Amino acid sequence: MNPDTAFAKPSLEENFLPILERATQEVFEIMLGCQVTCAAPSEHKLKGGLTAIVGLAGALCGVVTVCCAARTAGQIAKGMLGDTAESEGQAVDALGEMCNMIAGNFKNKLAGTDERCMLSVPSVISGAEYRFHSLVDGSSMETVVLFEDTPVAVRLQLKS
């Protein structure tokens, strides 16, 4: 998880997306011990479930979200905390922590932003029927990884 990318250069979606994908893959490998590969977002549509959100403020301003089915969040909790992690609260906490780590790893890869970009605390939305949208007017990019054959969508939305 070393800073290896100049902040000044990647300013467009095509530059940030590979960094987001790598940050996601590393967190899944370190926290859950599994290697995940990125898939095209259009192939895996998610409805409902859990959405974790972490805000970015400072040099980069926006939000990172991680969205998956409730069952997948439960599997992530078991992967992080052990097989006894069966409560909804543990699934919520685990997904929030994954989102926090992906956002932190992403910003650490942008050399020079680490001190000028800060994260807020994670929040998690759960439920059968909800919509959410961020009031950002800049770049938006998404990567989807398969964790135990179910999709997990990671999205970065930045203010212009």
Span near other proteins by CB under 8 A; candidates 13-21, 38-46, 50-58, 79-87: 50-58
CB 85 within 8 A of CB 94: yes
Nearest Cα to 18, choosing from 156, 160, 113?
A: 156
Rounded-to-integer distance, Cα 33 and Cα 46, Å: 24
- Minimum separation from the CB atom of position 137 to other proteins (A): 9
x/- letters, 72..111, toward other proteins (CB under 8 A): -----------------x--xx--xx--x-----------
Position 47 contacts other proteins (CB under 8 A) = no
Q: Is 130 in the site for other proteins (CB under 8 A)?
A: yes
The Cα–Cα gap between 31 and 79 comes to: 8
d(CA 92, CA 124): 6
Instruction: Out of 10, 13, 55, 114, point to the residue binding other proteins (CB under 8 A).
Output: 55
Helices 13-32 & 88-108 angle (0-180, nearest 10): 130
Q: Which residues bind other proteins (CB under 8 A)?
A: 53-58, 61-63, 89, 92-93, 96-97, 100, 118-136, 157, 159
